[in-house]
Chains A and B, each alone.
Chain A
Amino acid sequence: MSHFRDQGVVLRTMRLGEADRIITLVTRNHGKVRAVAKGVRRTSSKFGARLEPFSHVSFMGWQGRGDLDIVSQAEVIDTFRVVREDLDRTSVALSMLEVVDLVSQERHANPPLYVMLVGALGALARQPSPLLAPAFFLKVLALEGSAPVLDACASCGEATPGSLVAFDLLDGGALCTRCRRGRPLSPGALDLLRRVLGGGLAGVLAEPRSSVTDEVASLAIEAIEVHLDRRLRSVRAVPTG
């Protein structure tokens, strides 16, 4: 039973009782934290809009005996307001939050995941990119130790340039002409995937939308869904256009 200070991003909120909410945050040092924010739903609340999803906050929490903590103070680091006020960016950000919510574990610190999420939200606020969420999903997979194999055939190890033509998640990555299974993989998509995981992220995010980026996007969504063993609700329920 103690106070703690940490920084975190609000992942989701749930109504509790008359005027409270349970806030789920992913924090730098305490992993995923679920905490009650008392009175946030009142217009006169001291928290105001600080504890809405996407908010990056520095907060003080009280950890009691149960599994719910209590938020006692919160200060904004960044509200990612641009993301919040644009429906398309909101839906991209929500899918990233959903993935982080599923991947992170309560009270189990995972600083790289937190840093990645803050970075991705910042990038989204600066400049939307068709590959931002897919690249984020792939990076999360890599962090989880489940990055797809892209350097050589995932089944037989064949590594001749140009030989990788298919992609299958059960085999864990790209496949050569002889072992082909699953979905076809274009050379352009393979190149983008390699750049995402190999440190060429900035260039990848500058790519304009094309059939190749769509291919990478659907592949990344499928890969993260297979890894999590469930469908992402926010990817499909989101109304666009």
Chain B
Amino acid sequence: MPAFSAPVQNLVDELGRLPGIGPKSAQRIAFHLLKVPSEDALRLAQAIVAVKERVTFCPRCFNVAEGDLCIVCADDRRDPSVVCVVEDPRDVVAVEKTGGFSGRYHVLQGALSPIDGIGPDQLKIGELIARIEPEGISEVILCTNPNLEGEATAAYLARLLQPLGVRVTRIASGLPVGGDLEYADEVTLGRALEGRRVVESAAPAQTRPARADQG
């Protein structure tokens, strides 16, 4: 015997498919939606429709985009010669929040993971290589996650990119600002030591030398 009427059951089932939402949470959300004024619920429905209709992936960098190019690619104040390679559109947001990067991005949409059977063909790697020459890219920043998959991806990309004559850099690994040295793990602290830099007496200018080795 079905516990709810068909439309409610349907809503519960659909909500239950969302990540991190189990059957109980789905039920709770469904009944919340039943209770709120219909314009509130419809706003949610319309937001979903709008996202699915209007948002696509940027044909150049595979970031999420509305219309043709994504916001970053469409902005001609951005430096076209530097490309920051990230795994996921959320990483673009994270890098953008630093305000310290003025080039463009390339979103791989994942990372190499041999154990899960994810190889280079499932990522936007060919598309990255194809951008180098026509866009006149002179530096590629490998900004993948500093975990096993991200490091493997960065090492693989470095191997592909170096013969093309572009400068390949890897983001630094180090201690989180506001952290405690005592609790730093050996790998991170080791890398932080390796990547140390000379303390400059003048105010840190934008011309500080970037380390150009690959992780």
Question: Do A and B come together as binding partners?
Answer: yes
* A residues whose Cβ falls under 8 Å from a Cβ of B: 12-13, 17-18, 43-44, 46-50, 52-54, 76, 79, 81, 84-87, 90-91, 94-95, 97-98, 233-234, 237-239, 241
Within 8 Å CB of B117, what residues of A?
A: 233, 237
- B interface residue count range (under 10 / 10 to 19 / 20 to 34 / 35 or more): 20 to 34
Q: How many pairs, one residue from A and one from B, have CB atoms within 8 Å of each other in the complex?
A: 76
- Are B188 and A49 neighbours in the complex by a CB distance under 8 Å? yes
Task: Write 20 A-B pairs (CB below 8 A) sorted by A numbering.
Answer: A44-B176, A48-B185, A49-B147, A49-B187, A53-B148, A76-B187, A79-B187, A84-B151, A87-B155, A87-B159, A90-B148, A90-B155, A91-B114, A94-B114, A98-B115, A233-B114, A237-B117, A238-B119, A239-B112, A239-B156
Q: Which of B111-141 contact A (CB under 8 A)?
A: 112, 114-120
Within 8 Å CB of A234, what residues of B?
A: 114-115
Q: How far is the CA of A238 from the CA of B117 in the complex (A)?
A: 8
Q: How far is the CA of A48 from the CA of B155 in the complex (A)?
A: 21
Q: How far is the CA of A46 from the CA of B159 in the complex (A)?
A: 33
- Are A81 and B148 neighbours in the complex by a CB distance under 8 Å? no
Residue among A48, A53, A86, A97 with the highest chain B CB neighbour number at 10 A: A48
User: Whole-angstrom distance from the CB of B18 to the nearest CB of chain A?
Assistant: 13
Given contacts A17-B20, A84-B148, contact A237 B114 (CB under 8 A): yes
- List 7 additional contacts besides A81-B190, A94-B115; criterion CB under 8 Å: A44-B176, A81-B187, A233-B115, A234-B115, A237-B114, A238-B114, A238-B119
- Are B187 and A237 neighbours in the complex by a CB distance under 8 Å? no
Q: How far is the CA of A233 from the CA of B117 in the complex (A)?
A: 6
Q: Which of B139-155 contact A (CB under 8 A)?
A: 146-148, 151-152, 155
- Are A12 and B115 neighbours in the complex by a CB distance under 8 Å? yes
- Are B112 and A97 neighbours in the complex by a CB distance under 8 Å? no
Q: B160 — nearest CB in chain A belongs to which residue?
A: A239
Interface residue B209 (Cβ < 8 Å from any Cβ of A): no
Interface residue B183 (Cβ < 8 Å from any Cβ of A): yes
Interface residue B76 (Cβ < 8 Å from any Cβ of A): no
Q: How far is the CA of A109 from the CA of B31 in the complex (A)?
A: 48
User: Whole-angstrom distance from the CB of B74 to the nearest CB of chain A?
Assistant: 30
Within 8 Å CB of A47, what residues of B?
A: 185
Within 8 Å CB of A81, what residues of B?
A: 187, 190
Q: B152 — nearest CB in chain A belongs to which residue?
A: A90
Interface residue B179 (Cβ < 8 Å from any Cβ of A): yes
Other-chain contact of B176, A43, A76, A94 (Cβ < 8 Å): A43
Interface residue B215 (Cβ < 8 Å from any Cβ of A): yes
Within 8 Å CB of B20, what residues of A?
A: 17-18
Q: A231 — nearest CB in chain B belongs to which residue?
A: B117
Q: Which of B153-207 contact A (CB under 8 A)?
A: 155-156, 159, 176, 178-179, 183-188, 190
- Are B185 and A237 neighbours in the complex by a CB distance under 8 Å? no
Q: How far is the CA of A53 from the CA of B152 in the complex (A)?
A: 12
Other-chain contact of B185, A12, A76, A233, A239 (Cβ < 8 Å): A76
Within 8 Å CB of B118, what residues of A?
A: 237
- Are B152 and A87 neighbours in the complex by a CB distance under 8 Å? yes
Within 8 Å CB of A98, what residues of B?
A: 115
Residue among A13, A18, A53, A85 with the highest chain B CB neighbour number at 10 A: A85
